[in-house]
Amino acid sequence: MLRTVCPHRTLWEELLPAECQRLPVELERVDRLLDDRGLFVPFGPFFDPEFGRPSIPMETYLRMMWLKHRYGFGYETLCREVGDSLGWRRFCRIPLGESVPHPTTLAKITRRCGPAVVDQLNETLLARAAGEKVVRLDRVRADSTVVAANVRYPSDAGLLAAAIALMVAVVARVHGAGGALRTHVRNRRRAARRRTHALGASLRRRSGDAQSEVFALTAELATLAERTAADASGWWSTGAARWPAGARRPVGGCGGRWPTWTTPWPSPLG
C-alpha cells in the first residue's frame, strides 16, 4: 500500500531549540521543490492504493535518494548518516523516535519502480524549478569533457602523407573518368607510408640521434609532397589535360586553381 507523507511532528521536535529546527539554505530550497504532491503520481502504478503492507512515505524516499545522489553515498552509508543527523532527519521528514528506513527497503523500491519513474520525476521537478525560476531554461550548457575518439593526430608528417595520397587519388579519379590521359602523376603514397612508419619508430627511441632522423625523414616527406604537387599543377597548366565529354573548360585559363566544371564531378574521397 502506498504512503505518500509522514505523520505530523512529534512533541520531541517541538522541544528542540530553534537552531536545531532550521535547515541549511541548500536543503531548505530543495525541501520546497520536493514539497509537491505531483511527485507522488509516478509511484501510483507500483503500489496498491488500499491493500498490502504500507510502504515508507514517498516524501522520505525522495529526500533520501536526493541526499544519496548529492553526496554519492551508498544505501548503508546514507541510512547511517541520516540517522546521525537531526537536520537530515528533519529534511527527510523522519520524526524523532522513529527508525530510519532500512537500506534494502530503499533498494527494493528503486528496483521496483525503475528508470522510467526517475525520468518522470525529473520532468516534474524541472517544470517546478523553472516555474519558480530556480533554473533557467533559455540557456544551453555544453559539456566540453575530453573524450577519446578515433581521429588522426595532425602531425606534420601525417599531413604531408595525407596530401600526397589525396593528390594521387584525385588524378586517378580523373584518369578513370577519361580525362588527362597523356599526363602522368607518379604514385608516391607507398614511399610516404614508409617514411611515416620510420618516423614513428624514430620517435619511440627518444634518443639524440632520433631527432636528426626525424628532421631528415620529415624533409624527405616534404620533398615527396612538393614533387607530387608539381606533377599535379603541371597537369593543369599544360595543354595535355583532356576534359571529360560534355564538360565546359573555363574561359581565361585556370589561373593556378582547380577548375570548376558544369557537370557533377565525383569527390576524390569517395
142-151, 152-161, 214-223: segment of lowest average pLDDT: 142-151
What local confidence, expressed as pLDDT, does residue 102 receive? Answer: 93
What local confidence, expressed as pLDDT, does residue 140 receive? Answer: 66
Q: Enter the pTM of the model.
A: 0.48
What local confidence, expressed as pLDDT, does residue 153 receive? Answer: 66
Residues 6+ apart with CB under 8 A from 63: 30, 31, 34, 91, 92, 93
Phi-psi region of 52 (alpha: psi -120 to 50; beta: other; left: phi over 0): left
What local confidence, expressed as pLDDT, does residue 264 receive? Answer: 43
- Long-range Cβ contacts of 172-180 (<8 Å, 24+ apart): 173/266, 173/268, 177/244, 177/266, 178/242, 178/244, 178/245, 179/241, 179/242, 179/243, 179/244, 180/235, 180/240, 180/241, 180/242
What local confidence, expressed as pLDDT, does residue 68 receive? Answer: 92
What local confidence, expressed as pLDDT, does residue 15 receive? Answer: 67
Question: What is the DSSP code string of 146-182?
Answer: ----S-----HHHHHHHHHHHHHHHHHHHHHTT--TT
What local confidence, expressed as pLDDT, does residue 170 receive? Answer: 82
For residue 181, what pLDDT band results from cuts at 50, 70 and 90? low
- What would the pLDDT profile of 23-72 be if each residue is shown by its tens digit? 888 888 888 888 888 888 888 888 887 778 888 888 899 999 999 988 99
- What would the pLDDT profile of 221-260 be if each residue is shown by its tens digit? 888 888 888 887 766 555 444 555 554 444 433 434 444 4
- What would the pLDDT profile of 78-132 be if each residue is shown by its tens digit? 999 999 888 888 889 888 878 899 999 999 999 988 888 888 888 887 787 777 7
